[in-house]
Chains A and B, each alone.
Chain A
Amino acid sequence: MTQLSADNLSLNAGQTELFAKVNLSLAPGKLTCLIGPNGAGKSSLLTCLAGLKKPATGTVLLNGQDLTGMSSTERAKQLSYLPQNRQLSWPISVEDAVALGRFAYGGTPARLSEADRTAVDEALDICELNGLRKRATDTLSGGELSRVHFARAFAGKAPLLIADEPLTALDPKHQLRVMRLIQRFTENGGTALVVLHDIALAAQFADVLLWMRFGRLVDEGSPAKTLTEQNMSRVFDVSARIEDGRLISIADA
């Protein structure tokens, strides 16, 4: 099981503190959802946890090894990262985009080994993209494109997945579809950390919720325990009605 933990993590942009004093340990084989208002520092925290930015203080440990000391290829084999930006710069085909997930193993769309090909086929299968293999990515709908990104992440076979707002601009049905992909990934032993803005979906799918506000983690635990009117009020500044662990409605505080 893959372990990712952070100890006393902080990051600044110039004089502005993005987040500080973050301690966390991702539950292996579980889906953890990071939630919090815009500007809480969620995306910055993800880039540090994914090893793309060096934190100002603190360390991130991946299977007991300091993330900043790992080579980028070594890290990528353990951890796949899906940023918010889903736009591709060139209209490459779906299967070529998924093949990019094999980068850390030396594969590229131009040259794939047997193992690369198998991994790409499996990923296309899981994300139900087989019928779209040859399609240019600029002709896809938002839902299809987001599945392409998950497929390229899965093609890398990394046991740890970090995704930043993967549900943005998706309709409810596609949101469910993507959440099921992530759920399936964790059911098969993967560990996932996902930033979500849809609290109801987060509560429905997450094993653990991380509540973040003003650059601090303020609560952590199962949805049943932490999805409370008090947390909704202090983290999101809204007055929420919660019944049986489900978010019923929100209103201005």
Chain B
Amino acid sequence: MAEMVKLFVNGQEVEVESGKNLIDAFEVIGIEIPHFCYHPALGSDGNCRMCLVGIEDGRPPLVPACKTPVSEGLKVQLDTEKIKKIQHDVMELELINHPIDCPVCDQAGECKLQDYYMSYDHQASRMRVPQVVKEKKMDLGCGVIHDQERCVLCARCVRFTRLITKTGELGIINRSDDARVALFPGRSLDNRYALNIVDLCPVGAMTSKDFRFKQRAWFLKRDKGICHGCSMGCNIFIDHNREKYKDDLIYRFRPRLNPEVNGYFICDEGRLGYHRENEGRLISARIGTEESSADQALQTARRRMEGADKLLILLSPNCSLEQMLAIQALAATTGATVSGFSDGSIKNGDADGYLIQDDKSANRAGLALLGVNTSPEFFESALQRTDTLVSFNNDLFITGPNQAWAKKLGEIQIIAISTHDTLFSRQAGIAIPTASYTEYAGSVINKDGILQTFGQAVCKNSAPLDMIRIAGLLGGTLTDPEALMQAMKRKIPAFAAIETDQIPEKGLKLSHNEAAHVTA
């Protein structure tokens, strides 16, 4: 717990954390100081002047709150007539050349200009001269669309490219009312985090090509999730909506602050990973070439598994810990060998030392924790001995069909429990659809040994079964949530050590011993 300091806001004494600036410190206790340019990840720039506050100690009459650290006994004024006038004037300045095209603007509903207009301005425009005309719908590259007329020149996007991605594509050129955000002529945005600019932009100047005109912000339901795009385990918001007479669809992923994992940002690949949750899914179960109900397919699968001589179960490194435990229990009941082989999901050399990792699966550390063998040798020898292969969402053909196993895979029975309609699931004798990671709740361990949970976000009209349920229907004994929780606690002492059954919001860092075990 950080040290606390006492200070006064509008004459009232409050206690806030030290070491922060006024904006951040007051936000925690529910006092808003309006601001455009300040962002905790980008530091205070002091260019927008919206956060000016008064301090009663002989300083200049007004100071920017973003550049003023809290200190003991500080007397801060937020509601004097002078401050209100300043806020009103800054808003009037920002709106002089703003097109006010909110009805067609994607930012509407989550726009600082809209919010602050209602809170701090609320006056008709006095401008009777033509507005300055600038460029609209500029394609900056990387799926970012820029509208110079909506821009308030807070320079968050410019600072993001200079301070975070260190690519520096953007700059604010010209001056006075002709100032605008622009790229150097002939160049475009070129970094793997560019779409964070869209989130950073406090107004509708930066919009995402992918999300533009798809959905109004206020229709979206925001659920917390964990990105399964790689082993970083970035925290995200899953923004989804079920339109009337339609299915529940995801419209975007947005980063969710977790200082222990991803900070304020996510990569573009992860952000656009939601498409895979909506598209290319395995819709209905299939036995041979015949479509069937999931029940029937599961019954047939169970009979084949019982009749199998040597059963091999293939686990995906994307499964949640709970699913892994349930499937391990299924393997114990059926006497199956379990492999977690999935080399295809590792892209060597793709990591960038920031958020993007080589390993494109979310829970490989979980496989290690549960002692599942992931070596190709083990898988290959098990494959040569087996006559029935059950894959739990592990796509063996993720990098294309493997010629080495083609003959063997042709000879054995394959039961594919799959979220997606893939080459592999199409080759399987039985294919059963299952819920994907936005459709179930679970826990995963990221590459740094941080255990994180996520809840169910999307609820499909014809919701495919979760893998835990499927494991139960195939003969597994460990499917009860409470029993799974206890099993997890037995495997993870750090989890057992905390009193509640809830893994903390920011994740649980596994102890050194466990981490060593994870990487073993």
Q: Do A and B interact with each other, yes or no? A: no
Q: Report B's interface with A, CB cutoff 8 A.
A: none
Q: Report A's interface with B, CB cutoff 8 A.
A: none
